[in-house]
């Protein structure tokens, strides 16, 4: 859809070690794209999209997710997976419900599209991990 703005996303998919040749799927409120990571787990994609977007990376039995509320760099790691779990709980759902319903749920879209909300969730996850 040419009426949607162009969005460039990039990042690294890793579980400590990079996820090389992993399938990357970017699903936005409107617009989607797929690509593969390189040998270092890096990905880059440009698409016409309405934000926010969920980034899903699959490699073997590993499945990781991240959120993109703007264009730029969004890594996909076990920590970003925890971020999604935390944000889903804050919104009264689970990760599958959040991912599956956000294209039609404006409440989810507003939360996932807010840098403040996502960064607050990220801080909460980091604090929780540091306590353990």
52-106: per-residue pLDDT in tens? Answer: 999 999 999 999 999 999 999 999 999 999 999 999 999 999 999 999 999 999 9
Helix, strand, coil abundance in the chain, percent, nearest 5 = 35, 40, 30
- 11-16 average pLDDT score: 96
In percent, the amount of the chain with pLDDT more than 90 equals 95
What pLDDT sits at residue 74? 96
Residues 6+ apart with CB under 8 A from 131: none
ω into residue 53 within 30 of 0, thus cis? no
What pLDDT sits at residue 132? 81
Query: Is residue 1 over pLDDT 70?
Result: no
What pLDDT sits at residue 2? 60
Residues 6+ apart with CB under 8 A from 93: 101, 108
- The structure's pTM equals 0.92
Q: Is the CA virtual torsion 131, 110, 53, 104 positive or negative?
A: positive
- 8-28 average pLDDT score: 97
Question: Tokens in use for 51?
Answer: 């934000």
């Amino acid at each position: 859809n040419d009426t949607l703005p162009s969005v460039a996303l990039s990042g690294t998919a890793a579980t400590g070690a990079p996820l090389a040749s992993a399938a990357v799927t970017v699903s936005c409120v409107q617009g989607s794209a797929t690509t593969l990571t390189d040998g270092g787990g890096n990905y880059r994609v440009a698409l016409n999209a309405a934000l926010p977007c969920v980034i899903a990376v699959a490699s073997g039995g590993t499945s990781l997710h991240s959120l993109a509320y703007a264009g730029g760099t969004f890594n996909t790691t076990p920590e970003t997976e925890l971020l999604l779990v935390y944000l889903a709980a804050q919104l009264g759902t689970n990760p599958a419900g959040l991912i599956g319903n956000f294209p039609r749920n404006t409440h989810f879209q507003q939360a996932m599209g807010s840098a403040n909300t996502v960064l607050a969730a990220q801080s909460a996850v980091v604090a929780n991990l540091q306590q353990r």
